[in-house]
Amino acid sequence: MAGKAWRSAILNLLRNWGVWLGPKDKLKPQEVTWVAGTVKREPPQPRIFTRGMQTVTLIPGDGIGPEISSAVMKIFEAAKAPIQWEERNVTAIQGPGGKWMIPPEAKESMNRNKIGLKGPLKTPIAAGHPSMNLLLRKTFDLYANVRPCVSIEGYQTPYTDVNLVTIRENTEGEYSGIEHVIVDGVVQSIKLITEQASQRIAEYAFEYARNNQRASVTAVHKANIMRMSDGLFLRKCREAAEKHKDVKFTEMYLDTVCLNMVQDPTQFDVLVMPNLYGDILSDLCAGLIGGLGVTPSGNIGANGVAIFESVHGTAPDIAGKDMANPTALLLSAVMMLRHMGLHGYAKKIESGCFDTIRDKKVLTKDLGGNSKCSEFTEAICQRVRDMN
């Protein structure tokens, strides 16, 4: 941003914090720079809420979505977290001109609150509209998909001590959806890599590493084969690394990462990569810690929008039977709290969840137990209340 746009952004920021500058807001450029400089040098502070409560858009989703969403709301209430939920439905509607879009109330709520929590959405096959996730991604320009994969003590997998984060570019790459049939029997799919998107994701990866005290960022690529495209991605990562010298930067071929990941996942910290590799590697890492039922996920968009979600399916076969496991959505909500700077509440709820799982007394069926979703939720609520 330059000039006027920057100035108004700074003025809005100051107004949000209750600082009013003069009757006519005629600021000299130097004053704005001075304020911006001060703001930039501040370490990340928790957001100052005018009423103490932050409103978050909640999208319960389909299938088991509503039950796990209410489980999360109960647990947040037990923890006395300063979160107010605004429920919205995102079933696609056809706008003027026949273009599919999410309902305007949902869009307005999200743009206002900036933070969202989303349950699983189903994509009906013959509905004619694109996948809901794709629609959300395009509407809010969700360019980064962040998945922290941490081994859950108490939920045994062959891999222990996993503690890594996959950051995946979410808008372009192999999933641009640009395909053509050249001649009968010959199909061409286009993988798109742009300088802007690569720069954005690389910068985000280093920012994330810095804000979350992670030691290193590894760029995953296949530049030996895809010289120009992955080469561009790699160059942007290197440039971002130059600006963040406090975080270590390494590059590794995709095949080497896969090979080493299944032998020793502890050697990895933050991984940043284009869309396809990210899709596969993030699911691989989710498999290491126990699957999609226990993995949190966050999508970061432009303009400060962030939507946290559970990435498992809607599980229509167990919907409404009080059998669902809310862990994935709960851990995503914890990730959301950390994003908002509410680290105390995040730790409290996360510990409640992990302690309950470690205890093994009350577990849902997929975690190896026999309890109902409501029992599991109540066990976590009890632990959280005891911590208050």
Partner 1 sequence: MASEDDINNAIMAIRRNGVALKGNIETNHNLPPSYKSRNNLLRTTLDLYANVMHCQSLPGVRTRHRNIDIMIIRENTEGEYSSLEHENVPGVVECLKIITKTKSLRIADYAFRTARAKGRRRVTAVHKANIMKLGDGLFLECCKEVACGYPEISFDSMIVDNTSMQLVSRPQQFDVMVMPNLYGNIVSNVCAGLVGGPGLVPGANYGEDYAVFETGTRNTGKSIANRNSANPTAMLLASCLLLDHLRLHAYASMIRRAILSTVTETRLHTADLGGQGSTSDVVQSIMNAIQSTGPQTLSI
Binding site for partner 1 (CB under 8 A): 157-159, 174-175, 177, 179-181, 184-196, 222-232, 234, 254-256, 258-263, 276, 279-284, 286-288, 291-292
SS (H, E, C) 264-301: CHHHCCEEEECHHHHHHHHHHHHHHHCCHHHCEEEEEE
How many CB atoms lie under 10 A from the CB of residue 62? Answer: 20
Q: Which is nearer to partner 1, 106 or 201 (CB)?
A: 201
Whose Cβ is closer to partner 1: residue 280's or residue 387's? 280
> Least distance from C-beta 136 to partner 1, angstroms?
16
Task: Name the one residue in this structure whose structure tokens are 């996920």.
Answer: 297
Nearer to partner 1, 1 or 182 (CB): 182
Query: Considering beta carbons, is residue 222 or 383 the nearer one to partner 1?
Result: 222
User: Considering the complex, what minimum distance in angstroms separates the CB of residue 277 from partner 1?
Assistant: 8
CB of 337 to partner 1, least distance (A): 27
The CB-of-327 to partner 1 minimum distance in angstroms stands at: 16
Tell me the C-alpha to C-alpha distance, in Å, between residue 313 and each of 92, 122, 134, 370. Answer: 18, 8, 15, 21
Asked if residues 332 and 294 have their Cβ atoms less than 8 Å apart, the reply is: no
| Nearer to partner 1 among residue 38 and residue 188 (C-beta) | 188
Residue 33 CA: distances (Å) to CA of 21, 28, 56: 14, 9, 32
- E strand or H helix that includes residue 306: strand 306-310
By beta-carbon proximity to partner 1, the closer residue of 114 and 312 is: 312
Contact between residue 297 and residue 310 where contact means Cβ atoms under 8 Å apart: yes
Cβ nearer to partner 1, comparing 5 with 181: 181
CB within 8 A of 145, min separation 6: which ones? 166, 167, 168, 170, 278, 282, 297, 298, 299
DSSP 197-215: HHHHHHHHHHHHHHHTT--
Q: How far, in Å, are 105, 145, 180, 302, 304 from residue 111 at the CA level?
A: 10, 19, 35, 11, 9
Q: Cβ closer to partner 1: 60 or 173? A: 173
H or E element: which one contains 178?
strand 173-183
Q: How far is the CB of 36 from partner 1 (least distance, A)?
A: 27
Write down the least CB distance from residue 8 to partner 1, Å: 28
- Min dist CB 14 to partner 1, Å, is 34
Closest distance between partner 1 and the C-beta of residue 125, in Å?
A: 10
